[in-house]
A and B are shown apart, each in its own frame.
Chain A
Amino acid sequence: MKSVVIIPAYNESQKIYHVVQSVVNRGYDVVVVDDGSGDNTAHEARRAGAVVLSHCINRGYGAALTTGNGWAYRNNYDIAVHFDADGQHNPDEIENITAPIQKREADIVIGSRFIESDANGANNTRMARMRIPIVRKILIRLATKFTRVVSGIQLTDAHNGFRALSREALGKINCMQDGMSYASEVVDQIAEHGWRYKEVPNTIVYTQYSRQKGESNVKKILLGVRFLWGKVIK
């Protein structure tokens, strides 16, 4: 099965080269959606071996991923993986996230920081090892509960940007949210289309850089409102 890794990027010239290179070195095709960056993100991504699609103005995380999804579908990829540009995700885990689709066990696979990666008990979950900031941890839990109520999908980690979509899902996905609330909308799409879904453990590396690039906790809370509003307009 032909896989492509979609990386949405906005002003990531510092990190994008290494992130793309780490994925390309593992034998995956990479498409970077440069979301109206004002720096050298597109150039650096191309230099590292990615195909670059450029948004002429900044439209947001969800908009960039939707552009990437459409491109992947048109270019006949069987699996599309969503991967962060700031180095938070581990390229070695791409294999794990695509595996359920390759085995035809799922249409969509979502990474989770909360499920145990090994059998050594609760204290050895990835979550425990990752040292996620406490406020962020609470917000992730709340977002997960919120998604469970709104979409009725039982996930352990609703706002994880590491996911894989099968070709069938790529053809049907119809996300309208341009911003970060895209993550909630994807879960909503699982319910809408009745896709088979699976969660796999993944690691998120919280660095000073990724924390600076990430959204504030207040903005994260407002995402729920944004998502519901988008649902009303749809």
Chain B
Amino acid sequence: MYIQIITTIVVLLLIFRIGARLKKKEITFKEAIFWGVLWFAVGIVVLYPGIADSVAARIGLRTATGIDLVVYIATGVLFYLVFRLFVKIEKMERDITKIVRRFAIKEDDKKE
């Protein structure tokens, strides 16, 4: 029971934070929807664990319970997010290199 109360409070706080960050334009509308739906789903599963069980049964996970399904989805989402982070870091690295290069060439032009 306690876990449900604590998780619900945390989820509500996180959803409020998403709203606040969207208001400050720190995240895009699409990102806010993504995170909002994700945390809302977490809240629903915590409050009504039976839903996860019935979804698991419906998609054919015979031996798994609802909580297993949640773990599978969470792992998938994590993989996806890590991949996106890697891609973003790679692009940022390339941008940094471009800036460093431009700066080096500019310094050389100044000397001439």
Contacts and interface: CB of A to CB of B under 8 A. Distances in A.
B97 A178 contact: yes
Nearest to B86: A229
A91 to B, nearest CB: 24
> Chain A contact residues: over half helix, strand or loop, or mixed?
mixed
A51 B90 contact: no
B102 to A, nearest CB: 9
11 contacts: A33-B104, A36-B100, A56-B103, A67-B105, A71-B108, A74-B105, A178-B93, A178-B94, A229-B90, A233-B90, A233-B91
A57 interface: yes
Contacts of B96: 57, 59
A56 B100 contact: yes
A90 B108 CA distance: 28
**Looking at chain B, what size class is its interface with the partner chain?**
10 to 19
Interface in A161-179: 176, 178
Given A53-B105, A53-B108, A176 B94 contact: yes
Main secondary structure of the interface of B (DSSP, over half): helix
Most buried by A among B93, B97, B105, B107: B97
A192 B20 CA distance: 48
B101 A55 contact: yes
Contacts, number: 45
A54 interface: yes
Interface string A79-107: 00000000000000000000000000000
Nearest to A60: B97
A230 B104 CA distance: 24
Contacts of B108: 51, 53, 71
Given A53-B105, A71-B108, A176-B94, 12 more contacts: A33-B104, A53-B107, A54-B107, A56-B104, A57-B96, A59-B100, A59-B101, A63-B97, A66-B97, A178-B93, A230-B90, A233-B87
Contacts of B86: 229
A66 B87 contact: no
For the complex of A and B, 9 pairs with smallest distance between CB atoms: A53-B104, A63-B97, A67-B101, A59-B97, A233-B90, A55-B100, A59-B100, A178-B97, A55-B104
A60 B93 CA distance: 11
Given A176-B94, A230-B90, A233-B90, A63 B107 contact: no
Contacts of A59: 96-97, 100-101
